[in-house]
Structures are given as C-alpha cells and as structure tokens.
Amino acid sequence: MASDFIPRLTKPDAKNKYYITKSKGGYSDAIEGNPTDKDCNVLSNCVGYAYGRFNEIGGYGKCKYLAPVNAENFMQHKGNLKVGTTPKVGACMVWQKGETLKASDGVGHVAIVEVVTSDSQVTTSESVWGGKAFTTLTRKKGSDGNWGYSGKFLGFIYNPAECCTATAKPESKAAVGLEDIIMFTGSKHYLNPSAAKGSACKKGFAKVTKIEKGKKHPYHIIGEYYGSGNNKDGSNAWGWVDEKDVHPITEATDTKSNVKLFLDAAYNDGIRIDWSETPIKLAEKCLVQEWKDRVSRYPNLTKLAQKQLGIQETGVCDSAMTKKIKEYQKKHKLTADGIINASTWEYLIGIK
C-alpha cells in the first residue's frame, strides 16, 4: 500500500480496472455510465467513479470498500469506515438530493477529495451522469455548508488507505520552496508575478523555479517536469501562478513516487529522461559507481541510491558504498559488480 497520496487530476487510463465493470474484465460492480465511456465503462457515473477511485487509492486489487448504490446512500453502506465533516485527502464526499433518500426524489452525488487547501476548500475529482466522464472542481464549503452542491451535504467518508491517514492534515504553504516539485491545481499562468491577465493551462505536476513573496502570482513554475508532452500527470504551465494553486508533495516511498524522485535526481545531475523512457534507458545514462579517476559523478543520483541503500548520503560513491551495492545485488540475485545500472535501479526504486 502506498504511503504517499498522489492526487488524480486526469481521467483514468483505458486499462484501469477500477473503472471497468467485472463483465468487461474490471473490478467494479457499478452500472455503466451515461454516455458510456469507451475506455472506462463505469464513467460517466458519479457512483462508478467514486467507488473505483476510493478503492484505487488503496491499491487493493478489487473494490473492497463502499458499494455501488445510489450516491446519497453511500453513508448507509460505509461499513466500519469513519466519517466526519473535516476534509481529508482520499475521502468520499456524499450529498443527498431529496428528502427521502429514495431515488424517487433524486439520487444525490459523490466525489473524491484530491487536494485539501483548507478546512473550507478542496479540489475534487468527479464524474457526472449524463455529462463528463471525468472532471476536477474546486469546491468551497460556503455559508450553507453544502460545498457547492444543490443538495444537502451528508459528510466525508474517510479512506482507510495509509496514504490518506498519513497526509490527513491540510497542506502547509510554508512547505513550498525553490526547486520543489509541486502539484499545480490552477487553470491559468501569467507572464509576470503582477500580471492582470493570464493564459489557460492544465493542472498537474510542476517544478518551482522562482518565488516572489507578496506578489499577486508569487510562484514561477515549469510544468511537465517529469516528462514530455505525453506525460498525462504533468501540467503544461510555464509562468507565474497563484499561491492557492500550489500544493507541496511530501516525500514518497511508493513506486510511482520513487520514480519521480529518480527523475528529479537525474534532472539535477543534468540528465533529462522522459517518463516513457523509464527504466528502459537508465543503463546508458545513470550509472552510479566508484569511478577510477575518483571524480564524483551524478551526486544527486548517488544520494538517492545511498538513501535507498540505507547508508550516509554523501553524494560520492566510495569503496564502502561499492561493498554495500554488491551486498544488495547478491541479495536480489543481480550481477554483483558494484555498479548501479538499469537492473539495480529497477529494484532500488521499486519497479521490480
């Protein structure tokens, strides 16, 4: 189970079983959406999406929690899951439409919390019956407490996944610094930190390259940091953005985030690797070893390797590290040559 929460800000891929019915080879018991999505057939359907996403977050390999009932009846099918009124990442938001909790006066709505900005503002991922297969919304609690929906808000069903309990508190803007990788949740970037008008851009991962506190748009970011234009998780922003749209990403230990840490280290060592290349071309680009000329190469990759090996992070590969590498390679039945190449990196960052 992942220990770091990765927000979903893009539509699930076609082969994602959490959003496909069992009759089509997936995990879901939900009905097909309307109109039925060709890739994920439980979309467009808020129930099918929230049911799948809630379980996808935990990586259970099945739809273990909740039930594909009418949206407003999710609370009755929460089982032993905890509920509350304070937003937490991964939680399912539940709204009642009518007065009776029966389909005759409306079926309500459900959505998943992807980013918590404060106790009164969140970013959600959702699906809409008769509308969009996937969308993200910024929802504010409002004076009526209904989080921007026309029906009655019933509460949050909290996700028991480790990643959700580990990052339950609202994020701190103070945690965002220069060179940090962040999640951008806005829709506009600007030419300068005081610009009045901006240009449209998409949500996703980005890197903070400049900070000017006190300005209207204090963060300069570069999107698609982890790959080329084929990277669905990356923003295409390249400019100044608002503070409310910049969210820190805590250090991760799950495979996907380890790959991101690897790409970050490679980039800082002057090696740009597209996400699609990982780990195919690692051997020719990212060797970590004790070099004969004793010149330190790839200090950031070396530090990452040292971290994964559980030794002091010096950024220099010496004889002690070489010995540790060989021990690790023997343990995993790899060629014990003391060189971290593609096959060893795959184990270190959890791809194998």
Q: Do 208 and 301 have their domain in common? A: no
Q: Which two tokens stand for residue 260?
A: 């991101």
| pLDDT above 50 for 181 | yes
| pLDDT above 80 for 2 | no
Position 207 scores a pLDDT of 84
Q: Do 36 and 146 have their domain in common? A: yes
| pLDDT above 90 for 96 | yes
Whether the CB-CB separation of 137 and 112 falls below 8 Å is answered with no
31 belongs to a structural domain: yes
| CATH number, residue 85 | 3.90.1720.10
Q: Do 148 and 205 have their domain in common? A: no
Neighbours of 95 (CB within 10 A): 24
Q: Which two tokens stand for residue 148?
A: 């921007």
1 belongs to a structural domain: no
Q: What is the pLDDT of residues 100-134, one digit of tens each?
A: 888 888 899 999 999 888 888 899 999 999 988 99
Q: Do 231 and 324 have their domain in common? A: no
What is the extent of the structural domain holding 32?
A: 17-166
In terms of pLDDT, which residue wins out, 257 or 15? 15
52 belongs to a structural domain: yes
Total domains, the chain: 3
| pLDDT above 70 for 155 | yes
Q: What is the pLDDT of residues 259-300, one digit of tens each?
A: 777 877 887 888 776 544 444 455 456 789 888 877 778 898
235 vs 207: CA distance, rounded Å: 10
**The domain boundary residue, chosen from 248, 263, 282:** 248
108 belongs to a structural domain: yes
Mean pLDDT of the chain: 84
Among 49-58, 142-151, 221-230, 333-342, the minimum mean pLDDT is found in 221-230
In terms of pLDDT, which residue wins out, 4 or 97? 97
Q: Do 21 and 87 have their domain in common? A: yes
Strand ranges for 97-187 from DSSP E? 109-118, 121-126, 135-140, 152-157, 181-184
Q: Do 148 and 52 have their domain in common? A: yes
**The domain boundary residue, chosen from 188, 221, 248:** 248
In terms of pLDDT, which residue wins out, 303 or 349? 303
Among 49-53, 216-220, 279-283, the minimum mean pLDDT is found in 279-283
Most confident of 149-158, 262-271, 331-340: 149-158
Three-state DSSP class for 212? coil
| pLDDT above 90 for 38 | yes
Position 257 scores a pLDDT of 61
339 belongs to a structural domain: yes
Q: Do 313 and 334 have their domain in common? A: yes
Position 18 scores a pLDDT of 97
Q: Do 233 and 335 have their domain in common? A: no
277 vs 285: CA distance, rounded Å: 11
Q: Do 134 and 33 have their domain in common? A: yes
Position 249 scores a pLDDT of 61
Q: Do 29 and 159 have their domain in common? A: yes
Position 284 scores a pLDDT of 56
Among 58-72, 152-166, 221-235, 274-288, the minimum mean pLDDT is found in 274-288
**The domain boundary residue, chosen from 207, 226, 248:** 248
Radius of gyration of the chain (CA): 22
pTM for the model? 0.56
141 belongs to a structural domain: yes
Q: Do 37 and 127 have their domain in common? A: yes
10 belongs to a structural domain: no
89 vs 134: CA distance, rounded Å: 18
Position 280 scores a pLDDT of 47
In terms of pLDDT, which residue wins out, 101 or 87? 87
Among 119-128, 161-170, 239-248, 316-325, the minimum mean pLDDT is found in 161-170
9 belongs to a structural domain: no
Q: Do 30 and 160 have their domain in common? A: yes
- Tell me the percentage of the chain whose pLDDT exceeds 70: 86
